[in-house]
Amino acid sequence: MGDIKTLFQAVEQAIKEKKSGELQDILQRKKSMPPPRPAIVGDTKTYSSRELMDMMCVTKVTIYNWMKNGWIMGFKVNGDWRFTEDQVRAIMKRKGVPYG
């Protein structure tokens, strides 16, 4: 399972069929997937909100709540939220998600 879309389809199917063992296997494989390569803004590596959503398996609302609660800080570039690599590492550590 190489891409994130395939991963989410497998998770949805496992949930529909109530296959908890298969779901655990899928989630374990997700944890072992490398994070996407960040974009560079100036000299700083950044991730988009979509990339962060995919890495953390959360919704946009969850990311907004993290920002509201001060757990992660973002900034907008051309109307899109971006997050520095340090911010992404911090939230992944806080949530127990391994980072590349």
Q: Which of 1-10, 44-53, 83-92 has the lowest mean pLDDT?
A: 1-10
In this predicted structure, the answer to whether residue 25 has a pLDDT above a threshold of 90 is: no
Does 45 lie in the same domain as 91?
yes
Q: What is the pLDDT of residue 1?
A: 40
Neighbouring residues of 4: CB distance < 8 A, sequence distance ≥ 6: 33, 54
Does 57 lie in the same domain as 22?
no
List strand residue ranges (DSSP E) for 1-100, in order.
Answer: 39-41, 44-48, 75-77, 80-84
Which amino acid is it at 41? V
Statement: the pTM of the whole predicted model exceeds 0.85: no
Tens-place pLDDT, residues 33-69: 665 555 665 667 889 999 999 888 899 999 999 999 9
Q: Does 8 reside within a domain? A: yes
How far apart, in whole angstroms, are the C-alpha atoms of residue 78 and residue 62? 22
CA-closest candidate to residue 48, choices 92, 71, 79: 79
Does 74 lie in the same domain as 44?
yes
Does 47 lie in the same domain as 11?
no
